[in-house]
């Protein structure tokens, strides 16, 4: 019996659960065109460094107006530092049609080092965003080696949550029965 798919699925689940969305956002992505997903990523201390880093970034999710064979597969830019992590993307894409035709482009600024714990950094960012009445910026946390997975999870969950609203808009515009 071949347990490769089971092992791969279990490994994916462990990676997925090692990252957290500390402050979710609750708005739908645009059905057509480009949506921006701003975030703060808090990465925990490593064995080499006892500090926590905070990075501000944004994922641009683009849905094409016209679907062609050239844009049939999802495209991810600037998510992973090495090709090994791209296997996670393949695993995700094989299990969801929601990602077809989408382009994901992640842009992040330089990491800011703080001496807080992850919890303290997240609390400070939450207070800052609450003070600014900011409802569209998420806070993510992850081990440093899982930074790309954290951003991928955030974008994926926004897409899945937006799907019912997007389908409804397509129906209202007459594209679906």
pLDDT tens profile 92-136: 555 554 555 678 899 999 999 887 788 999 999 999 999 999 999
pLDDT tens profile 2-16: 556 667 677 777 777
Which region, left, alpha or beta, applies to residue 32 given φ > 0 means left and ψ of -120 to 50 means alpha? beta
Radius of gyration of the chain (CA): 17
pLDDT tens profile 21-79: 999 998 888 777 789 999 999 998 755 667 899 999 999 988 755 454 554 556 677 77
Q: CA dist 159 to 27, 55, 58, 75, 133, Å? A: 10, 22, 15, 14, 23
> H or E stretch including 23?
strand 20-23
**pTM for the complete prediction?**
0.77
């Amino acid at each position: 019996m071949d347990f490769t798919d089971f092992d791969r699925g279990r490994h994916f689940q462990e990676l997925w659960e090692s990252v957290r969305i500390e402050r979710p956002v609750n708005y739908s992505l645009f059905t057509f065109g480009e949506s921006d997903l701003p975030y703060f990523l808090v990465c925990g201390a490593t064995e080499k460094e006892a500090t926590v880093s905070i990075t501000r970034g944004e994922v641009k999710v683009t849905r094409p107006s016209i679907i062609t064979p050239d844009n049939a597969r999802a495209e991810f830019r600037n998510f992973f530092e090495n090709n090994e992590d791209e296997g996670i993307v393949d695993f995700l894409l094989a299990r969801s049609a929601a990602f077809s035709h989408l382009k994901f482009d992640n842009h992040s600024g330089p990491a800011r080092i703080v001496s807080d714990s992850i919890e303290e950094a997240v609390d400070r960012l939450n207070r800052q965003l609450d003070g600014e009445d900011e409802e569209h910026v998420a806070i993510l946390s992850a081990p440093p080696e899982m930074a790309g997975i954290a951003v991928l999870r955030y974008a994926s969950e926004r897409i899945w949550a937006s799907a019912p609203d997007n389908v409804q808009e397509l129906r209202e515009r007459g594209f679906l029965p």
